[in-house]
Structure 1
Amino acid sequence: MTRLIVIGARSTGTSLALVRAALDRQLDVTVISGPNDSLQGVFAPEVELVNLQTDAEVVVAWLQRHYPDPERRLRVTTANDVYARLAAQVAETLELPGPDAASVARSVSKAYQKSLLATHDLPTSRFVVGALTDLPALWGKLPLVRFPVVVKPSEGSASHGVKLCRDFDQANQHLEALAGELRANLRTGLTDCVIVEEYLEGAEYCVEYFDGRYVGALRKFKRHGEGFLERGYTSELDLDDRALRRLIDAGTQAVERAGLTWGPVHLDCIVREGAPYVIELNPRIAGSFICDIVRDGYGFRMVERLLDKLQGRPVVVPEFFAPSAYARVEFLLDSDPLPWDFSKPGELKNGDLHISYGPQRAADRERRAYLYVRRTFQPTEPTEPTAEKRHEEAIA
């Protein structure tokens, strides 16, 4: 029996969908999390939960001890970018299908990403890199960038530790706070390296790729303020065809340059005056209902195709451009009025329109609930013009 090993998961979204889809395929599932993670009660009872040190040798040794695999039936992936490097290293060590471990290891570093983009003249914001254990040296580099700036850990997830800083004092306070977190070892994935980059004002987009090919784009909504908290996503892009093509091409080049051409990759980009700027590459499957919107807006089932890829089945990526259907998710946050909440899940259907809602507690994202709206996906296909249409065209 094939066993799926998910190294790094969350209590929401894609993690739940991935595990559920694997169980539907009659796969055994083991979820491995780190010491600071708690996933008790999140998945179905038949899912094995294991808590281990986030070290490849430790995880490989545990798997070899508990699941000797002479027939190479294990499959390894992740649904959390904090664990992307670890999952790729474990899969490669065990000679199992997966992305290139060296490319993933480099790409989880946002400092490496920025250097890669700059080296290949791909548009991104100006930046400097420093160490939380040597803040005076970093302060000396700050005059090289213009305020406002975004301060972010080089590694991390879900905008943890990412903050917009209007001046030097704000940047200094936030860097000191991150240094304190590092010393206290309070957050999985926080490393010594930190980035300070110029803030780019513009609409933010997520661009999704599979096997190096574009499979969909989404416009992102954020809460007003300094923390870049997710408000939601929509397949309604508000881009003309030229701007969308430039966004797709910039993302494709970034994915190829990074060597991330196996399976799913998630990009964050800013579009400013029609020009795309690549902000981050994430070498893993996307969360926060992004896979749902790609499925419902573009017709590409990211979760199913990842399982196909892991199981050695062929994956065909159709040619995509603009979305073919409407899909949108809104997140209700702790800062919203208390009546904005859903204590129980539910759904409403009216013809092709489908609305689902429910609680989604994610303290690290200040999230309490979601509202998901979609219209049934209908692929656009060329049709023969009617006789009336041909007559109108002849007159024109």
Structure 2
Amino acid sequence: MEGLDIKEISGDLIKTTLQQVVEQRLGSKDVKIWIEAGSKKGDHFIGEIYRIIYQLGNDTNQSSLILKIAAQSVMRREKFRLASFFVREIRVYNETLPIFYEFQLSKGITPQVDGFNEYAQCYSIIQKELSESLFLEDLRVNQFEMLDHRKEDLTFEHVALVMKALSKLHAISFALRDQQPETFAKVTSNLDELYYRTDNVDFTIFLTAMGNRAINALNERNLMELKNKFARAIEKGFDKTGAECVTGKLAEPYTVLCHGDVWINNSMFKKDAQGKPIAVKLFDWQFSRYASPVTDIILFLLSCTRKSLRDQHYDELIKIYYESLSNFLQRLGSDPNKLFPYEALLDQLKQFGKYGTLTGIILIAIFSADPDSIPDLSEFSERVDENEGEMNDLIKVPEENLEDFTTRICDLIEDSARFGYL
């Protein structure tokens, strides 16, 4: 798609809005626009992403933005509930994050300087059905880059940045609940769970297959005691166990607005001249939910890091998260010891930590998959209607990656048990 004309984007409303966004950003109607692919295959399931390159007339200085368009295949939207995911993300960018931004300003905090600003700016939205779109800041313009998990592992510095970003996101929820309960209720209302649902037979089949893969990995390494512990942890079913972990009312009074899908592919890092990560941005908010804050932090810690890093820094990273949350809550005018004491964090980790185990199994499979084998969801949704067995084989791990896949799965479950989450 590199160098394609804007005409290649389907939908007159989307093209018209894009033209308007670019003209507004450049302050002129004399603009030129091109499109490029905005993500690799396997990096985004919910729709299409384009990098929009634009310039003023014949000016050689170019800039860019990201255009994210919801899947337009009716069968794909229905099979995977993709419209609901996209509408959720639009809500976060259009309503939730602006409320969080203004609340920080009201407390004398400048988000861009010393507050929560670890997300892409949103320039415009389209909410019309079959044209749902987001026009977002291109983080690459400011030297943010994705970490290629197929070539590079996260370091302590990467993870610490994510912990601090999440702590500020969660602290705003706690402060709003404390000081502006009506606003907090508005932000967290109608956030039905979109991922761990027990009413989707196809997804239940997929999750069951993921659980069986984990058990097979433990069998292969002859980790029988660990296998039995994991099997007991999901005896209600992979889907039902996951659903319990993200049920907000079970985490009260510590439930917050969670990002919901914090992993390597939904984060970008900026580095200094020595290559050390110094800033992070989070994106892809379509799984945002009202749940325990530990569901965000544990997902990243268990699924995106290697065991060697967890062995060395796990407790330290938990403390970094909590200290950052406490400090930011105080700056927002609330008492962290009252709203979310450290002991409550530890209790929540014990109660909901297995969320990181379950979802981590899925993400490690994605890490290990051959990106060329990840199916086109439009075609896949049609095949699933004809053969439910397709859901068992949605993510294929090639032979050359099986050893690392098995190791990471076993390490994940071993650490989950060691931390007391299973």
State the TM-score, normalizing by the size of structure 1. 0.28
Give 1 or 2: higher helix fraction.
2
Give 1 or 2: higher strand fraction.
1
User: Could you say which structure has the greater relative contact order, defined with CA pairs below 8 angstroms and 6 or more residues apart?
Assistant: 2
